[in-house]
Structure 1
Amino acid sequence: MSLNTANVPMALNAISALTIHGLITDSDGSNIPVILRRTAAALDLVPFLDLVSVAALDRPRRPYVPRPPSTLPEPGDLHVNLTFGDKKGWGRSSFVHEVNVLPTTTLPAHLPPLVLKVARSKRRAEIAREAWFYDELECLQGVVLPRCYGWFEAELTEGQSFGPWTATRKSRDTENSNPEWRFKGSKLKEMSGSRNYVSVLLLEKLGDTLPMGVPLGDELVKGLYDLFGEISELGVDHRDIRYSNILAAPEGPDTLPSLPSPFTGQVYTHRIIDIEQCEKTNGKTWLLTNWQGSWVQRIVSNLPDGIIIEPWD
């Protein structure tokens, strides 16, 4: 299949709807296609985190870094059909699969290889939160984040449900452990616990995890630190820095090139994923950079020995 119908990449907001095959089953257990519509994350969806310094209570708080203006064109109305491919990952709130775009004559530009991040039952709020941060960090998509082609949702009708292949021990164990305290006082609270929605993010497919058992090299290590320095420029703290959340930038004939940083001009070899737990803060850039860099240090200093250090270690 070739999607190179033009020499320019498709705009991140070109798709207005998805038809997904193989995700939803009807009351008789048969797979049915489901149409998901693009959803906009409200500007006030995520409350900001106020970092207060005890040593500076008598001084004015640092203002939050404003969201950079979007550079996207007017939203498009493209409808894309997808089928599921291999599973790429899973976690507490979602699972990720490669997807195949069914070819049509209406694709106006090039789409790179894609994955679909699907919220588990009762985890719609987490996908919504992540969608908000992709909007907040739009200028860093293709730089330190994967490109995000939208947040899409559909409300399921009676008798429809996720296919049985999505059920895992992990999903059953965590279905009722939704951390609703994280959404207190925000619009996310009303989404938390919703069972009758299918909610997804359509994302650029990335490469592999960092190499283990070999020296990483000074240039790579510095680049990994700088990844988190980039989001620190916008007052964002990742809050879930771990080995599995740093992946290689996409490579191959159908992928899109990495973009230079709007802040430093640097081009990176890796990307940050799983930004649903990020916080928008009023922390100073150097403070956020150093804090996040300390977590990166825990990871990279142990990889040459073949050891993965997790946040809870």
Structure 2
Amino acid sequence: MVPVRKHVLLLKRMFVENYLQPTDAISCIILTSGSFHETHWKRGPNAPFVLRRVVPPRVNIFNWPETEPKDKGALQPPRAAVPPKGNLTLHVSLTSVLSPPGSVGAVYATQCSIPDGNVDGLVLPPLVAKIAKPRKANDLIREAAMYEEMESLQGWGIPWCFGFFQFRSVEYFDFGPVSLLLLERCGECIPSPSPYVSATPPPMPPTVRHDLHEILSRVSKLGIYYMYRVGIDPKHVLTTAGASSSNNPSLQWRLVDFAFAKKTDLEINTIHNYHHQQISALCDDVWKRYDAAADEECPSSSQDHSCNICAQREGW
């Protein structure tokens, strides 16, 4: 399990004199090394190149058909129209693929360093880079805007977000800019069922239901519907060590991937009920939604056996 960041309070103390949040401290990224997944950017730019911070636009409210807008939830204070005043340059190397390219992009493990003289004494947590697929920059920038809308939940129920960055080049104009979302790295995800028909699915961790209710209850109060296309995917519920700057009790799980979340005009109670249905589907019926990927049986008939495929997990 990857250790979750324990330096949030330290970072805030370091930047309080400048009234700058630590998550706003990075102004640009130099992607120093690493390569894209073979199905991600086949002809993408080679390292090194510089990605500069971009402030995403304000989240738009999705008008739900045939509803009367009443209680839309709380809107976060508007962000500045210009990039934050942080001047930190971060060197980032892509080390491995944590989540292969999906509908929006891929998630990479990173090694990050701060050049000497750039800033004194700053310690960053383990980070991941979510990089959009070609022509999917708009989808990732909407997710970045959603993380800013949920800024009050960062470091508690969702990962800390350290900014959205882009690299533009005439050479890759047809593919759109290289777009990167820099996020706190969490731990392992809920283990998914085996593709073998006869394999016994792993048990659902008992704390998942409680933590998701806590997280999505507050997401609902912001007027946001998680609305992932097929409900809550187990690989988007990740463990955490519980370190947080929040005054609330620590959680053992965090929710990620808000590419399809929407700010809606539904009533908060309606959104909360939808979220309750999603949580119930995950915790009670999730294995029914995972069709077997093969007709063959697991090579071992022993329930105690764990082959590589049965034990395979995805996560950050």
Render the CA deviation track for 1:40-99: whole Å, top value 9, x for unaligned.
1122xx431123556xx6xxx315334223799x63110011111121002121011111
Across the aligned residues of Structure 1 and Structure 2, the Cα RMSD in angstroms comes to: 3.3
TM, length-normalised to structure 2:
0.71
Specify which of 113, 130, 134 is matched with residue 121 of structure 1.
134
Task: Name the aligned partner's letter for residue 15 of structure 1.
Answer: I
> Is residue 26 of structure 2 the alignment partner of residue 15 of structure 1?
yes
Find the aligned partners of 2:55 and 2:245 in 1 and give their Cα distance.
Answer: 25
Report the identity percentage.
22
Structure 1: state its 5+ residue gaps. 162-193
Specify which of 203, 214, 219 is matched with residue 214 of structure 1.
203
Find the aligned partners of 1:99 and 1:247 in 2 and give their Cα distance.
Answer: 17
Distance 1:213 1:62, change over 3 A: same
Distance 1:282 1:259, change over 3 A: farther
Task: Name the aligned partner's letter for residue 17 of structure 1.
Answer: C
Distance 1:14 1:300, change over 3 A: same
- What SS does the aligned partner of 2:254 have? strand
Contact 2:73–2:220 under 8 Å retained in 1: no
* Offset, 1:279: 0.7
* Offset, 1:111: 0.7
> Is residue 141 of structure 2 the alignment partner of residue 150 of structure 1?
no
Contact 2:73–2:268 under 8 Å retained in 1: no
Find the aligned partners of 2:87 and 2:204 in 1 and give their Cα distance.
Answer: 47
Distance 1:293 1:107, change over 3 A: farther
Task: Name the aligned partner's letter for residue 223 of structure 1.
Answer: D
Find the aligned partners of 2:44 and 2:57 in 1 and give their Cα distance.
Answer: 35
- For residues 1-313 of structure 1, the aligned pairs below 5 Å read 8-9=10-11, 11-22=22-33, 31-43=46-58, 46-51=59-64, 61-69=69-77, 75-90=85-100, 91-105=102-116, 106-108=118-120, 109-158=122-171, 195-211=175-191, 213-214=202-203, 216-217=205-206, 219-240=207-228, 241-249=232-240, 251=241, 257-260=243-246, 265-302=248-285, 307=287, 309=289
Find the aligned partners of 2:26 and 2:273 in 1 and give their Cα distance.
Answer: 38
Task: Name the aligned partner's letter for residue 62 of structure 1.
Answer: K
The number of residues matched between the two structures is: 255
Find the aligned partners of 1:221 and 1:111 in 2 and give their Cα distance.
Answer: 30
TM, length-normalised to structure 1:
0.72
Contact 1:40–1:151 under 8 Å retained in 2: yes
Structure 2: state its 5+ residue gaps. 13-21, 37-42, 192-200, 292-316
Find the aligned partners of 1:29 and 1:270 in 2 and give their Cα distance.
Answer: 34
